[in-house]
Amino acid sequence: MITIWVPKRLVEIDLYNIAARSPEQLAEMSERSYRERVRYAAEKVRFSGTKIVMLTGPSASGKTTSAHKLAEELVRQGTPAHVVSLDNFFRGAEFYPRLPDGTLDYENPDTMDLPLIKQCLHELSETGKTSLPIYDFTQEKRSDETEAVDLQGGVCIVEGIHALNPELTSLVPGEEVYRIYAGLREEYCIDGRRVINTQDIRLCRRTLRDAAARGRSPEKTLAMWDRVMDGETRYIKGFKTTADFLLDTSFTYELGLIAQLLQKVRRQFVLEGHNAELWDETARRFEHVAPLPLDLLPADSMLREFYGGEVN
């Protein structure tokens, strides 16, 4: 199977600012481009003839919503599709491995019940049916309830940060697995000098989502960021090249949404120390970006995963 790879694009911020003078057209172009990428991904999945789609991506790449968008598109094209989150296979807080400093290692694949994952995926590949666990996040333990799944001849999309780890699909024939990596492929420059990279966008997505939806200070999100990046290096990036398809989750007009929200968040929260330096440095990268109003966001946009709430 030939991997479909997408090189990163470097866009001049001045060109973005010119396009932002017609915000509705820019937003529609960005949304339409993403929809076309999802449609093409669905066509590739259908053409592959596989039952199991493993979809991963780094933090705030949009993998969760993209998995559901892919499922919707597969159904539209006539293939039943069911999304399974690896989060439901968490073993429970008392089983989490720890980092050398004693803190919980949330990024470690051993947080999950690996034998059960392998069993469920094997059953889905063999019979199209299985029974999935349900994780109770409020109690931080597995629920007594389970979820019965019947693919009805269709596709199971498994999403999570460890989805490309080959151990998860070790009991499934290789030809029955299709691997997708969701990631941003657009970065921004001034006179050819890169000033905003994909990691900056992802950090803003995660921080702004937490601030708007959960009222969480950027300080808490930023305090976890280095650990998240370390987890990606240890557990995700090494499997990136095994993907059959890279789903680009960039939206050009998102640059202006971030610029708009950053202004509000910087007024609302006061940070100190290292986290303040990191946040201010990130915010300064957007000072030359023309802000755009959040009402440009369609109700069904993938970006609603990050900008669905309003910062006060």
Sign of CA dihedral 89, 90, 95, 101: positive
Quick: pLDDT tens for 163-209.
999 999 999 998 899 999 999 999 999 999 999 999 999 999 998 88
Quick: pLDDT tens for 201-210.
999 999 888 7
- Domain residue spans of the chain: 9-307
Look at residue 59 and give its three-state secondary structure: coil
Quick: pLDDT tens for 99-110.
788 777 778 889
Tokens (6 digits) for 128: 């199209």
Cβ within 8 Å of residue 91, ≥6 positions away: 111, 112, 113, 142
Q: Which residue has the tokens 């933090």?
A: 59
Is residue 141 within 8 A of residue 93, CB to CB? The reply is: yes
Q: Which residue has the tokens 């491995």?
A: 97
Quick: pLDDT tens for 236-261.
988 999 999 999 999 999 999 999 98
Tokens (6 digits) for 34: 């993403």
Name the residue type at position 1. M
Could you tell me the end-to-end alpha-carbon distance of the chain, in angstroms, rounded to an integer? 49
Look at residue 50 and give its three-state secondary structure: coil
Q: Edge-to-edge strands of the sheet including 155-159?
A: 81-85, 155-159, 52-56, 177-183, 245-248
Q: Please state, in angstroms and as integers, the Cα–Cα distance from residue 91 to each residue in 98, 131, 153, 235, following that order.
A: 14, 16, 30, 18
Q: Using CB atoms within 10 A of its CB, is residue 107 exposed (0-12), middle (13-18) or buried (19+)? A: buried
Confidence at residue 309, expressed as pLDDT on a 0 to 100 scale: 59
User: Could you give the CA distance from residue 7 to residue 215 in angstroms, rounded to a whole number?
Assistant: 36
Is residue 200 within 8 A of residue 282, CB to CB? The reply is: yes
Residues in the chain predicted with pLDDT less than 50, given as ranges, are: 311-312
Sign of CA dihedral 250, 252, 255, 257: negative
Is residue 311 within 8 A of residue 261, CB to CB? The reply is: yes
Confidence at residue 36, expressed as pLDDT on a 0 to 100 scale: 98
Q: Which fold has domain 9-307?
A: Rossmann fold (3.40.50)
Q: For 215-272, where are the alpha helices, taking DSSP H only?
A: 218-235, 254-268
User: Could you give the CA distance from residue 54 to residue 45 in angstroms, rounded to a whole number?
Assistant: 11
Residues in the chain: 312
Confidence at residue 216, expressed as pLDDT on a 0 to 100 scale: 67
Q: Which residue has the tokens 């498994």?
A: 158
